[in-house]
């Protein structure tokens, strides 16, 4: 049996959930849908409670915001299925939900962990204040199936994936990571070290919930802070670096002493660069330099700025 798990923080999941709920009525393999409300407001909770009255739908509530890693673990603990399908709340299904769900059934025996992929709208958002998130997602996260299968651990994403429950019982998401970002990177690293395969399939869903430029920059800073913490904690830094592009670049540049310069540039030009990133004319190369500079700053100064 398969449990569909929807972790959510103050987001409208009605369209996503009702489409899935109608589809699984005729699909015996899918046993339940659980909404995981992570410290949500009363208004959103009321909506989720209403949705939980639907057949095969239930609600898990954390009164406090415990973070992406912890709410996923709580959902896994509550789930009855042998397989867990995690879908982020800001996903948009393309076409018939039954076709999407059938895609998992066709591949369920291929590996203990299966990644469906992340898609983005082909045109930028009308609102320029959401351009940075779309720009990065469309050109960096929307990977082809060929690339994802070539680098299965590097391209793993928690946005849209299925995992055997017994695997997640053993390899939990790290709840020490309270900020946004890289909890799925650590999960992929643990799977790689344990020799557990990740199989990628063409079963994309659209990442529809785009943050504002400012919000995404703040989330990026949180994710780099998490990466800095993880880099100190992992026992095999070479293996961990092999699945994180930013770490591979950092380690190459460090040999030539360039990372110290990047840390200095970040410290002196942080605000100016962040203003540049909010422009629709800013390149992703500048964004990459910004992230490298921030990570370098953390490595040399050992603390958040």
Query: Rounded mean pLDDT of the chain?
Result: 94
- In the chain the domains, ranked by start, together with CATH numbers, are 2-210 (3.90.550.10), 219-301 (no CATH)
User: What is the predicted pLDDT for the residue at 302?
Assistant: 67
pTM recorded for the entire structure = 0.94
Average pLDDT over residues 275-287: 92
User: What is the predicted pLDDT for the residue at 177?
Assistant: 81
**Edge-to-edge strand list for the sheet holding 205-207:** 91-92, 205-207, 118-119
Q: 62-72, pLDDT tens digit by residue?
A: 999 999 999 99
E strand spans, 138-248: 160-164, 198-200, 205-207
Q: 234-273, pLDDT tens digit by residue?
A: 999 999 999 999 999 999 999 999 999 999 999 999 999 9
E strand spans, 14-164: 30-38, 57-62, 83-87, 91-92, 113-115, 118-119, 160-164
pLDDT band, very low/low/confident/very high, at 7 (cuts 50, 70, 90): very high
**Is the pLDDT assigned to residue 220 strictly greater than 80?**
yes
pLDDT band, very low/low/confident/very high, at 46 (cuts 50, 70, 90): very high
CB of 156 closer than 8 Å to CB of 115 = yes
**Residue written as token pair 């407001």:** 41
Residue 26: closest CA among 97, 114, 106, 103: 97
How many whole angstroms separate alpha carbon 12 and alpha carbon 113?
27
Element of type H or E holding 42:
helix 42-51
Q: Provide the 10 A C-beta neighbour count for residue 253.
A: 16
CA distances from 234 to 41, 152, 272 (A): 35, 20, 33
3-state helix, strand, coil in the chain (%, to 5): 50, 15, 35
User: What is the predicted pLDDT for the residue at 90?
Assistant: 96
**Is the pLDDT assigned to residue 304 strictly greater than 90?**
no
Q: Provide the 10 A C-beta neighbour count for residue 71.
A: 23
Q: 77-117, pLDDT tens digit by residue?
A: 999 999 999 999 999 998 899 999 999 999 999 999 999 99
């Amino acid at each position: 049996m398969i449990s569909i798990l929807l972790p959510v923080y103050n987001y409208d999941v009605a369209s996503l959930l009702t489409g899935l709920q109608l589809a699984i009525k005729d699909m015996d393999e899918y046993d339940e849908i659980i909404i995981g409300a992570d410290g949500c407001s009363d208004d959103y909770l009321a909506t989720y409670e209403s949705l939980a009255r639907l057949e095969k739908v239930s609600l898990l509530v954390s009164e406090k915001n415990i973070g992406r890693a912890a709410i996923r673990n709580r959902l896994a603990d509550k789930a009855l299925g042998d397989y867990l399908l995690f879908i982020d709340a800001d996903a948009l299904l393309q076409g018939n939900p039954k076709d999407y769900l059938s895609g998992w059934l066709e591949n369920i025996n291929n590996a203990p962990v299966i990644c469906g992929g992340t898609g983005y709208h082909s045109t930028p958002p009308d609102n320029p204040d959401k351009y940075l998130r779309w720009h990065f997602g469309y050109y960096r996260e929307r990977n082809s199936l060929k690339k994802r299968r070539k680098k299965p651990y590097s391209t793993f994403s928690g946005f849209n994936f299925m995992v055997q429950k017994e695997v997640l019982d053993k390899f939990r998401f790290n709840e020490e990571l309270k900020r946004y970002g890289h909890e799925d990177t650590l999960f992929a690293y643990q799977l790689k070290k344990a020799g557990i395969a990740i199989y990628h399939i063409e079963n994309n869903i659209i990442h529809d919930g785009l943050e504002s430029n400012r919000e995404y920059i703040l989330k990026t800073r949180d994710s780099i802070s998490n990466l800095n913490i993880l880099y100190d904690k992992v026992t095999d830094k070479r293996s961990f670096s092999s699945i994180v592009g930013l770490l591979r670049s950092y380690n190459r540049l460090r040999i030539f002493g360039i990372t110290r310069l990047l840390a200095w540039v970040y410290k002196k030009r942080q605000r100016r660069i962040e203003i540049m990133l909010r422009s629709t004319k800013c390149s992703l190369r500048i964004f990459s330099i910004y992230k490298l500079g921030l990570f370098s700053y953390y490595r040399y100064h050992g603390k958040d700025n």
